[in-house]
A and B are shown apart, each in its own frame.
Chain A
Amino acid sequence: MYRGRIWLYFSNIFHQLLLVFVLLVMVAYLSSASPFFFTWNNFRNIFDHSSLYIILALGITFVIAAGGIDLSVGAVAALSGVCMAVAMHSGLSVGLSILSGICSGAFMGMAGGTVIFLFKINPFIVTLGFMSLSRGLALIVTGGIPIYGFPKSFTWWGSGHIGPFNPPMLLAAFLIVVAAVMLNFTRFGYYTLALGGNEEALRRSGVSIFLYKVLVYTLCGVTAAIGGLIVTARLNTAEPLAGWMLELDTIAAVVLGGTSMKGGRGTIVGTVIACFLLGILRNGLVILSIPSYYQQLLIGIIILAAVIFAEVRARKGLLGFNKK
């Protein structure tokens, strides 16, 4: 019944290995199908596009691992972008403007987490409310009209160059490392997973559920705000409707990566691989000139397959441990 540690390790990352395999098959196929796919420029594109999804998905990974959900990230990204734009246009320095935007994201996350804890309401409903609330605020502040025209030092965050890379990619890479360390090697990560696994156990162990729950949602708000920074800087425009449906794309990536919707299990590596997989799929279908109706269809099929696979594996012990 109990196999060795190596087998255990392999079994834990089996889901991710499978994703890597699918990803490699896709890369191989697309490379053979189009001469434009396997080029540095194209991969630079994929990294660039995926970086936004990755940053938002990192925050959502924590929330889902903690047994919650956050539907407000797209709207919070838009709101914080609008905050930055308003701050800059009112004469604040670029640094302070970015800070104000990130603070607004953190605040929305913190408020959401507090409501979820205090009133013991399902996070799905609470964050749905915050999604609408943030979107509404962004629309009110802008009056429905995008705010555009920012200093070069701001747009650099979206379209600057650092060697062969650009700031969003490096920001994403940095945040991946930070998130992975936080989830796997700090008390915050331990308690995040324990929150999702068994909140009561954590409470009885004398850990403040309130503190950690609010921290998890705040973190998600911060990553959403960083996403807002990238979208706003890249497009040189703060749109109230930026990041439309982004929450669903990122939640899909997180679940596809192997983080359990039931909570208690979270994987940063899986999230990142899944974001790349979806990024390559979007890129590849365009390169092959396949209309993106099929893209939606394919992404749907892949997510369903991944979730069903993970569930069956957990229940029947397929290539994993036998569960009681």
Chain B
Amino acid sequence: MKKKKQRVAVFLLLSIAVFAAACSPSPAPAPVEEGKNNLVSADAAQEQKGAKEAGPAYAMNPKAYAMEQALMDQLMPLPDLHKGERIGALIITLANPFWVAMKEGYERAGAEMGVEVVVMAAPTEGDTKSQLETLDAMVAKGYAAIIASPIEPFNLVPGVVRANKRGIKVINLGPPINKEALKDARGWLDGRITVNFEEQGALAAEYIVQKLGPAGGKVAIIQGIPGAGQSEGRTAGAKGVFENTKNVEIVSIQPGNWDRNTAYNLASNILQAHPDLKGIFCANDVMALGVVEALQAANKKNDVVVAGVDFIDEARESIQRGELDGTVAMSPFLLFPRSGATSRW
């Protein structure tokens, strides 16, 4: 029993190493963690730029470093690593830069820990069925454990149940798998590190509100694919903040389908209807970057605050150039590019 728990802990650690920026204290056994989100804005980016020149990347954010340290301490001592063990990781899609970075993170962490990590993904961000089929194939291959990030809360449930039946550990990372649905299907998760999407949306919205100042103004939200967990969660979070702030009015909520060109068109259309628009929250960075292009084309970049989520490389550079205003980051791997952070693991 003890050994089993330890093994779960190894897998969890692997996940956390990739994913969690920081974590609130919680007991190591039966761990259910929630990753904290960091806001990255133009000001922080300046800070980061300076830090980069100075030394190791992670040195510049002591708070995050301290939290990571605390997490590691909780998990210590590390159980014996089972060399050569194979772990499967199911992410959402390799067509999105965020998840591509995640894959690299997994593989790097796997190499560090001496565990073979095989990363699989659905062909596209909306292909829920293929993701389930991929999970089923992974279950059939008999990995020691599978770390799964579902496209939406329900699509992987049957696959998780099948994995349970074969005794494969399943850890839910990132977007949550719906617990009730899983329980109804007599399945369970062996570990869970989820992202609070609402908090991400709220963080970004708070940033926009803060930028607008007491005068407030009109704001718009561009969602991802309607119904997707991240999209709905982030929208709800941002909506809550905007609605509870005096003088801030949501004038439009439109689905941008995670697509840059769609977001571009939406932004220029919304600007027509509301020339006095002050802020746009986008459910991911790709769309936020499309919105930035649209604003620049309309010569309105300086009038509208744009914030996204994910902190992809392109967003970081855009923030450094002073174009994109802010984004929400949730992975230390992404926050501290490549070299510095991974050496810690």
Q: Beyond A139-B94, A144-B95, A146-B314, is A293–B100 a contact (Cβ under 8 Å)?
A: no
Bin chain A's interface residue count: 35 or more
- Would you call A41 and B272 a contact (CB within 8 A)? yes
Give chain A residues whose Cβ lies under 8 Å from the Cβ of B255: 291-293
Q: Which of B94, B272, B286, B293 interacts with A159 by CB under 8 Å?
A: B293
Assess whether B264 is in contact with A286, with CB atoms less than 8 Å apart: no
Residues of B near A242 (CB, < 8 A) are: 260-261
B265 CB–A CB distance under 8 Å: yes
Q: How far is the CB of A226 from chain B (nearest CB, A)?
A: 15
Q: Does A36 contact B (CB under 8 A)?
A: yes
Cβ-Cβ contact count across A and B, 8 Å cutoff: 91
| Min distance, Cβ B155 to any Cβ of chain A, angstroms | 19
**Interface residue A90 (Cβ < 8 Å from any Cβ of B):** no
B286 surroundings in chain A (CB, below 8 A):
146, 239
Q: CA–CA, A244 to B261, complex, Å?
A: 9
- Stretch from A104-112, A176-184, A228-236 at the B interface: A228-236
**Given A49-B268, A237-B314, A291-B253, CB of A144 within 8 Å of CB of B260:** no
Q: Which of B96, B268, B289 contacts A48 (CB 8 A)?
A: B268
Which residues of chain B in 247-291 are interfacial with respect to chain A, using CB atoms and an 8 Å cutoff?
Answer: 251-255, 257, 259-261, 264-266, 268-270, 272-275, 286, 289-290
Cβ contacts A237-249/B at 8 Å (1 or 0 each): 1011111100000
Type the 1/0 row for A81-112, where 1 means its CB is closer than 8 Å to any CB of B.
Answer: 00000000000000000000000000000000
Does the CB pair B261–A289 fall under 8 Å? no
Q: Chain B 143-171, CB within 8 Å of chain A: the 1/0 string?
A: 00000000000000000000000000000
A115 at the interface (CB under 8 A from B): no
Q: For residue B293, which residue of chain A has the nearest CB?
A: A235
Closest to B253 in A: A291
Instruction: Determine if A239 and B268 form an interchain contact, defined as CB atoms under 8 angstroms apart.
Output: no
Q: Judge if A307 is at the interface, Cβ distance under 8 Å.
A: no
A302 CB, min distance to chain B CBs, angstroms: 18
- What is the CB-to-nearest-CB distance from A137 to chain B, in angstroms, rounded to a whole number? 13
Interface presence of A205 (CB below 8 A)? no
Distance in angstroms between the alpha carbons of A42 and B314 in the assembled complex: 29
In the complex, are the beta carbons of B100 and A283 less than 8 A apart? no
Partner of A36, one of B94, B124, B254, B272: B272
B97 sits at the interface (CB 8 A): yes
How far is the CB of A40 from the nearest CB of chain B, in Å? 11
- Residue A153 at the B interface, CB < 8 A? no
Query: Which residues of A188-230 are within 8 A (CB) of B?
Result: none
Is B273 in contact with A49, judged by CB distance below 8 angstroms? no
Which residue of chain A lies nearest to B103 when distances are taken between CB atoms in the complex?
A: A144
Contact of A287 among B272, B297, B313 (CB under 8 A): B272
Contact A45 B272 (CB under 8 A): yes
Q: In residues 223-269 of chain B, which contact A (Cβ within 8 Å)?
A: 226, 251-255, 257, 259-261, 264-266, 268-269
Cβ of A129 within 8 Å of any chain B Cβ, yes or no, is: no
Residues B252 and A286 in contact, CB atoms below 8 Å apart: yes
Report if A300 contacts B (CB, 8 A).
no
Contacts of A42 in B (CB 8 A): 272
How far is B273's CA from A37's CA once the two chains are assembled, in angstroms? Answer: 7
CA–CA, A286 and B266, complex, Å = 7
Interface centre among B268, B269, B289 (most CB of A within 10 A): B269
Q: Is B26 an interface residue (CB 8 A)?
A: no
B318's nearest neighbour on chain A, judged by CB, is A148
Chain A nearest Cβ from B125, distance in angstroms: 8
Within residues 295 to 345 of chain B, which ones have a CB less than 8 A from any CB in chain A? 296-297, 312-314, 317
Rounded to whole angstroms, the CA-CA distance of A133 and B272 in the bound complex is 38
Q: Are B273 and A146 in contact (CB under 8 A)?
A: no
Cross-chain contact B272 with A291 (CB below 8 angstroms): no
Is the beta-carbon distance between B95 and A241 smaller than 8 angstroms? yes
Residues in chain A near residue B97, CB distance under 8 A: 144-146
Question: Could you name 24 residue pairs across A and B whose Cβ atoms are closer than 8 Å?
Answer: A34-B273, A36-B273, A37-B272, A41-B272, A139-B94, A139-B95, A143-B100, A144-B96, A144-B100, A145-B97, A145-B312, A145-B313, A146-B97, A146-B286, A148-B314, A159-B296, A159-B297, A237-B289, A239-B286, A241-B95, A241-B259, A282-B269, A287-B269, A291-B255
List 20 extra interface pairs beyond A159-B296, A239-B286, CB under 8 A.
Answer: A36-B274, A39-B272, A42-B272, A49-B268, A52-B261, A139-B94, A144-B99, A146-B286, A148-B314, A234-B264, A234-B297, A235-B260, A241-B95, A241-B124, A283-B272, A287-B269, A287-B272, A289-B251, A289-B252, A293-B255
Chain A residues in contact with chain B, CB under 8 A?
Answer: 34, 36-37, 39, 41-42, 45, 48-49, 52, 139, 143-146, 148-149, 159, 231, 234-237, 239-244, 282-283, 286-289, 291-293
Contacts from B to A (Cβ < 8 Å): 94-97, 99-100, 124, 226, 251-255, 257, 259-261, 264-266, 268-270, 272-275, 286, 289-290, 293, 296-297, 312-314, 317
Shortest beta-carbon contacts, A-B, top 9:
A286-B269, A144-B100, A287-B273, A42-B272, A145-B97, A144-B94, A159-B297, A49-B265, A36-B273
